[in-house]
Amino acid sequence: MNEQYFAQNPTSESRPVSCVFSYRGCELRFLTDSGVFSRGEVDYGTALLLNTLPDMRGEVLDLGCGWGAMGVAVAKKYPDTHVVMSDVNERALTLARRNLRENRVTADCVASDGFAAVDGQFDAILFNPPIRAGKDVVYRLFSQSAAHLKEDGCLYIVIRKQQGADSALKFLKEHYEQAEIMERSAGYRVLRCMRGIRE
Pick the CATH number of 44-194 from 3.40.605.10, 3.40.50.2300, 3.40.50.150, 2.30.30.40: 3.40.50.150
**Closest by alpha carbon to 63, among 46, 42, 86, 81?**
86
Beta-bridged to residue 27, according to DSSP, are: 22
**Closest by alpha carbon to 114, among 134, 155, 147, 144?**
144
Q: Check residue 196 and give its pLDDT.
A: 56
Residue 87 C-alpha from the chain's centroid? 9
pLDDT of 80-112, one tens digit each? 999 999 999 999 999 999 999 999 999 999 999
What's the pLDDT band for 11 if we cut at 50, 70, 90? low
pLDDT of 147-196, one tens digit each? 999 999 999 999 999 999 999 999 999 999 999 999 999 999 999 999 75
Q: Decide if pLDDT at 135 tops 80.
A: yes
Q: Decide if pLDDT at 7 tops 70.
A: no
Domain residue limits, the chain: 44-194
Q: Check residue 2 and give its pLDDT.
A: 40
Q: Decide if pLDDT at 47 tops 60.
A: yes
How many alpha carbons lie under 13 Å from residue 16 in its C-beta half-sphere?
11
End-to-end CA distance of the chain: 40
- Give the whole-number percent of the chain exceeding pLDDT 70: 92
Q: Check residue 177 and give its pLDDT.
A: 93
What's the pLDDT band for 58 if we cut at 50, 70, 90? very high
**Closest by alpha carbon to 101, among 4, 31, 26?**
31
